[in-house]
Structure 1
């Protein structure tokens, strides 16, 4: 595991547990205690965690970890989800993307899809997003028209929220929206940590002809503070094959069709 990937994973572990001892983190990430101390010290200098005697705790400024530090965690699952999501999009569509690591991967998959990446006199796709990092990545691609909502920037997730975001979303319609979530529970539905982000995510889903909640299976069964919605808001739940059969059945029984992302084909056996 490369250093940046290891630091991503360390921050993810802290996000899940709140605090970690050096030995505990070293065992989980299969490195020496000395290496883990150096990683913790480096992240503490960036104010992404706070060092304690013998370990670290999640810093007060990292309520939700910046996307650039989360890219490597569950990376294979997120890329598989992104490929499957991109395959749902028709050329010429208007696509809504909320903020988040999975939706960021969807944006990258769309930007590099061959039929959407080829040059042309007009954009092949329109993206509506409230995520600063997604807009930043797509703005340099002339084949994609990028519309960024206004609003107040969340310093930890790069998402714009507030009345200006709501005003713009209230004036547009999108063909398909992909909404990320921090938790996905059969009874509660999709949830996030922040109520303002939850409100914007729900509005974006409501403005879509088809609303897809997308998250890797590690979030299934998790409930966070702010609810986005369930079957009354979303048409489809896209996740990976790690979801338990019982959980998938429960989503289906509650009226939310669940689609499993296709894994990447194996070059040796063609699967």
Structure 2
């Protein structure tokens, strides 16, 4: 196979799968990892693919537009349910403070709160707040601000300033994209500012994100990898990505 033919085949595989690691491509095309990296460099310069740590993603993976809550709710629902169950193992004991970020994966966590556990829960999510309001064991604090219709999350200067004055035991945070180079990212600057403040005010940060978010780089980075403690994701995370994250000190929990 000529290099041009191999590069076309590599591009087709990455685009069809949504992402591919260097090791996976080297095995698929029976070439060295060095050859794959050179091919990816050519494809990156041509704008066909975007090189990321350990592999490549389609150029469309650099996202500026995000889907609505309704669209995301039905996407990878089983994986999100499993991630929520695994993340629930990190819920603290009674008397603790918990911060829950807006999102369809984090929203599943609140349905798993033990009914006998008394917690102060802080959230910027309208749907999550509505669900928690009727739980007698939860003392609820809503971060009020402008509500983004697309994500039903409260954003703005008031939310960020409120978070700056808080200190919570644990924060459960979502992300649209996760890479070593760009860290945790999201398309909207206002949501990024809120997420950044959430990470900063927590003693312990758990990121809840399915594996399709890994390798994606969205418009605004809100935290580097070493600013968070745990990533809870699904079993489709690649070996290379998991090794890269653990090498930076991030604990990776694979939900079953």
Runs of 4+, deviation exceeding 6 Å: none
- Per-residue deviation at 1:193? 0.9
1:75 and 1:127 map into 2 onto residues whose CA distance is 24
Matched, 1:206 2:200: yes
Correspondence 1:1-271 to 2 at 5 A: 63-92=65-94, 93-110=96-113, 116-118=114-116, 124-261=118-255, 263=256
Task: Normalising by structure 2, report the TM-score.
Answer: 0.71
String of CA shifts for 1:208-231, please: whole Å, max 9, x gaps: 110112100111101100111123
Q: Measured at CA, do residues 66 and 146 of structure 1 come closer, stay the same or move farther in structure 2, by a change above 3 Å? A: farther
Mapped contact 2:226–2:248 kept (Cα < 8 A) = no
How many residues are aligned here?
192
1:90 and 1:149 map into 2 onto residues whose CA distance is 21
- Per-residue deviation at 1:202? 1.2
- Could you tell me which runs of 5 or more consecutive residues in structure 2 were left unpaired when the two chains were aligned: 1-17, 19-64
- Could you tell me which runs of 5 or more consecutive residues in structure 1 were left unpaired when the two chains were aligned: 1-15, 17-62, 111-115, 264-271
- Per-residue deviation at 1:242? 0.8
2:66 and 2:129 map into 1 onto residues whose CA distance is 19
- Per-residue deviation at 1:148? 0.6
SS at match of 1:109: coil
1:117 and 1:149 map into 2 onto residues whose CA distance is 23
1:232 and 1:251 map into 2 onto residues whose CA distance is 9
Superposition RMSD on alpha carbons, in Å? 1.6
Alignment correspondent of 1:50: none
- Per-residue deviation at 1:199? 1.1
2:216 and 2:225 map into 1 onto residues whose CA distance is 17
1:234 and 1:68 map into 2 onto residues whose CA distance is 28
- Per-residue deviation at 1:89? 0.9
Mapped contact 1:135–1:146 kept (Cα < 8 A) = yes
